[in-house]
């Protein structure tokens, strides 16, 4: 299965998402802020990244921008409690694959990851 990096300052949320994804056989990598997320991305080259927006150190928006500026094509899914249209638009404009509301519904999370991973496969062809 896929290698998925979860970047969220909430250990509870990382555990909740990780539990859902491990059932599907994914390898899970975790970071508790955007700066550590950058380190994990360099070290592990994940197939997909799930991230929160509001985190200490480096927030999710800066993380997405940094990855896209470096030419990364890795699909990034924002999982956030912020449901403002302007925030969602900003995430998508920066290059996020999708935005999911917290707490994520299992089916929505699984389906979005499946679509993100298949888009990466299609882009690689």
DSSP code of 70? T
Whether a cis peptide bond, with omega within 30° of 0, leads into 2 is no
H-helix or E-strand spanning residue 85: helix 85-94
Which positions ≥6 away from 114 have C-beta within 8 Å? none
From the list 87, 107, 3, 1, the residue with the least C-alpha distance to 50 is 3
**Global pTM value:** 0.94
Contact 101, 50 (CB under 8 A): no
* Average of per-residue pLDDT across 35-43: 96
From the list 43, 84, 45, 44, the residue with the least C-alpha distance to 61 is 84
- What is residue 2's three-state secondary structure? coil
* Average of per-residue pLDDT across 67-77: 95
State the pLDDT confidence band at 25, using cuts at 50, 70 and 90: very high
* Average of per-residue pLDDT across 53-71: 94
pLDDT at 59 over 80: yes
Contact 16, 109 (CB under 8 A): no
pLDDT at 82 over 90: no
pLDDT at 125 over 60: no
State residue 119's pLDDT score: 85
CATH class of the domain at 3-124: alpha beta
State residue 122's pLDDT score: 61
């Amino acid at each position: 299965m896929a290698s998925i990096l979860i970047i969220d300052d909430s250990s509870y949320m990382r555990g909740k998402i990780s539990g859902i994804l491990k059932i599907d056989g994914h390898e899970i990598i975790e970071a508790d802020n955007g700066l550590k997320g950058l380190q994990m991305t360099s070290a592990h080259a994940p197939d997909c990244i799930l991230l929160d927006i509001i985190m200490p150190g480096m927030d999710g928006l800066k993380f997405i921008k940094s990855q896209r500026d470096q030419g990364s094509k890795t699909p990034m899914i924002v999982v956030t409690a912020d449901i403002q249209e302007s925030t969602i638009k900003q995430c998508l404009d920066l290059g996020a694959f999708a935005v999911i509301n917290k707490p994520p519904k299992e089916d929505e999370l699984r389906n979005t990851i499946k679509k993100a991973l298949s888009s990466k496969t299609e882009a690689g062809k």
